[in-house]
Amino acid sequence: MKIEIDRLSHRYDVDVLRDLTLTLDGYKAVAIIGISGSGKSTLLRILSGLERPTAGAVRVNGHDVTNPDYRRSVGFVFQHHALFPHLTLLRNITLILEKTRGYNLGQAEARAMEFLDLLRLSDQAHKLPKNVSGGQAQRGSIARALSLDPEVVFLDEPTSALDPILTFEVLSAITDLRDIGKGFVLVSHVIDFVRSFADYVLYMHEGRIAEHGAPSILDDPGSSELREFMAKVPDCAFK
């Protein structure tokens, strides 16, 4: 996976991202961490093409992220599962495949079941989101994103609404996907998961990338900002 960020800035009522420049190449899983309001989710949304930057340029695997066609090459998993509540897990996937990829129903169902099985959800396929656990619904959202055959999967704190047991369930499922040939960019507050899953980490502070490098920076921070952040992060049981 290659990410090129050139003088990226973004503004809402205030400056959220401030003149970011960075090139990453050859990493499978990039994690973005930082306190609330540091700009990490905004950066993720720009990298995924969900938002256009105020200034600067961003390319992912050679794609200009502002090009509408780029969105077809990525999958996005939100903090809450964002499944259609009136459709089963299976139909949540088949409908998207029919409408956006031109699959017929039989093709869509075969592909949907492939990814529901991968996420250990084949026995839940015909249930509505309200009738499965929060962890199962979030895994259904991940299956839907993967079914579109994205080059890169973006995950925005996919366990933020889950209790510790369901958090472990979802993060374990994501860990199992690491070697399926996709790139992953994620925002997560579960630092032990970041250590084990990511091969590169960006630490955001006040709209800037204050420190970046291999996950080992989490254990030996080079900046005062990351050192202070790590001192306040609670222990996590994820292994």
Query: 37 lies in which domain range?
Result: 2-232
Average pLDDT over residues 51-71: 96
Average pLDDT over residues 88-114: 97
pLDDT over 70 (residue 185): yes
- Does residue 218 belong to any structural domain of this protein? yes
pLDDT over 70 (residue 39): yes
Number of structural domains the chain divides into: 1
- CATH number of the domain that 10 lies in? 3.40.50.300
What are 117-145's pLDDT values in tens digits? Answer: 999 999 999 999 999 999 999 999 999 99
- Does residue 129 belong to any structural domain of this protein? yes
- Does residue 52 belong to any structural domain of this protein? yes
The mean of the pLDDT values for the chain is 94
pLDDT over 90 (residue 238): no
- Does residue 238 belong to any structural domain of this protein? no
Alpha carbon distance 203, 153 (integer Å): 19
pTM, two decimals, is: 0.93
pLDDT class for 79, splitting at 50, 70, 90? confident
- Does residue 145 belong to any structural domain of this protein? yes
pLDDT over 90 (residue 233): no
Structure tokens at 218: 């989490």
Site of tokens 């994690």: 31
What are 144-163's pLDDT values in tens digits? Answer: 999 999 999 999 999 988 99
- Does residue 74 belong to any structural domain of this protein? yes
- Does residue 237 belong to any structural domain of this protein? no
- The alpha helices in the chain, defined as continuous H runs, are 40-48, 89-101, 105-118, 134-147, 164-176, 191-197, 224-232
pLDDT class for 80, splitting at 50, 70, 90? confident
- Does residue 239 belong to any structural domain of this protein? no
